[in-house]
Amino acid sequence: MTRARVFARLASALGPVWAFLAVLCAGFLLILAISSDPLLAYRDLLLSNFASASNFALFLNRLMPLLLIGLGVIFSFRAGVFNIGGEGQLYLGAIAAASVALALPNLPHALALALPIAASVLAGAVYGWIPGALKVGLEVNEVVSTLMLNFVALLLTEYLVTNPLRDPVAYGAVSYVVPHSSWLAEIPGLPGSTVGSIVAIAIAPIAWVSLFRTAWGANLRAAGSNMRFAETVGVHGKRLVLQAMAISGGLAGLAGGFYVLGIGHRFEQNFSPSFGLVGLTVALLARLHPIGLVATAAIYALILNGAAYMQIDTDVPRSLVALLTGILVLIMTMRPRRGPAEA
């Protein structure tokens, strides 16, 4: 590697760091302006995640969906598809897992776990495949189609959870609790956590290997950066795009399944604080790199979780994080567009 390339790599890796630092500084100034105890607020925001095992478990719970959706985003963007449908795919995966687990209550433990998870992956994958097929078949703009499908998924799951799946004794629009045999195990020593988070972290290196160290991944990235060239040299680009979209949706669906089986134990309407959009954000911040994503998703989950403690201990409202998220998303793609993100 020449010195120029090392420098270029370093610069592109540092870009997101600057964005994060800028936003953290803006946040600190805001907290300084409104809070009587800014240091406590910031300590809570950043460090309370490690104060106890259950705090750390909640951090992992927030990391899981960001990581899985972000990995899905990486697959689709690397294939040249601007998939912003993560939120819809997440919701469909969650409702599919909840429906299957509730419909088949008397299964042995292995099946009671495997079937809902398979259903969540399948539901998300189909929901990701549709805009992919519309794009390669009819050149329908995938930004528009995934945006529309998000609303359809949100309304469909809202109908299901307020009508057939509704638990009438519970407060709010939530489904019945799924049977215990379908619950995902906790990570030993971390009450309230789920092994789904471990699975999500483990998928990241697998995604890296398949995208950057296999012929399939090389072809997929070739199709993403120049479809006509890829097809000319004999790559089945369209088929690869469809596979990438199915994987992308499947991962988001899996996040929904893990949430229902491991965290909420039921489907809750509005369970996601824009996980889809934040997952997209952290994937872009990581420059669409699976290992970098683990870092950006972790930092983001840390702040998201820390804000909850900050609100309890100090006079700083939690909506500060939404405000900072908005600034982060708004400014982080500020650069000449290039590479696979250009869809």
Partner 1 sequence: MWASQFLASVFVQTTPILLAALGTMVTSRANMLNVAIEGMALVAAFAAIAVGQAENSAILGFVCAIAASVAMALMFGFVSIVLGADFIVAGLGLNILAAGGTLFLLEEVYQNPGGLRPDTFPDLWRVPAGSLHWLPVLGPALESQSFIVLVALAAIPISAFFLYRTPLGYALRAVGEDEPAAVAAGIHAARMKLLAVLISGAFAGLAGAQLAMDRLHFFLPDMTSGRGFIGLTAALFGAARPWPTAGAAFIFGAFGVIGDRLQLFQAPSQFVLMAPYLAALLALVFARWRATARARPAAVVGESR
By the criterion CB under 8 A, which residues form the site for partner 1?
34, 82, 84, 134, 138-141, 143-145, 147-149, 151-152, 155-156, 158-159, 162-163, 274, 277, 280-281, 284, 317, 319-337, 341
Encoded tokens for 203: 């998928």
Helix count and strand count (H, E) for the chain: 13, 0
Backbone angles phi, psi at 48, to 5 degrees: -65, -15
Encoded tokens for 186: 């906790």
In this structure, what is the dihedral angle of CA atoms 39, 45, 51, 55, given to the nearest 10 degrees?
Answer: 160
Closest to partner 1 by CB, 5 or 228: 228
Closest to partner 1 by CB, 60 or 173: 173
Q: In angstroms, what is the minimal distance from the CB of 2 to partner 1? A: 27
The string of DSSP letters for 161-217 reads: HHTTTB-TTSSSSBBPPPPGGGPPPPPTT-TT--HHHHHHHHHHHHHHHHHHSSHHH
In contact, 152 and 159? CB cutoff 8 Å: no
Closest to partner 1 by CB, 36 or 106: 36
Q: In angstroms, what is the minimal distance from the CB of 343 to partner 1? A: 9
Q: In angstroms, what is the minimal distance from the CB of 315 to partner 1? A: 9
| Single-letter residue type at 16 | P
Distance CA(75)–CA(249), nearest Å, equals 10
Closest to partner 1 by CB, 168 or 189: 168
Distance CA(236)–CA(220), nearest Å, equals 9
Q: In angstroms, what is the minimal distance from the CB of 31 to partner 1? A: 11
Closest to partner 1 by CB, 117 or 142: 142
Q: In angstroms, what is the minimal distance from the CB of 6 to partner 1? A: 25
Neighbours of 162 (CB within 10 A): 14
Neighbours of 170 (CB within 10 A): 13
Closest to partner 1 by CB, 48 or 325: 325
Q: In angstroms, what is the minimal distance from the CB of 143 to partner 1? A: 6
Q: In angstroms, what is the minimal distance from the CB of 242 to partner 1? A: 16
Closest to partner 1 by CB, 104 or 327: 327
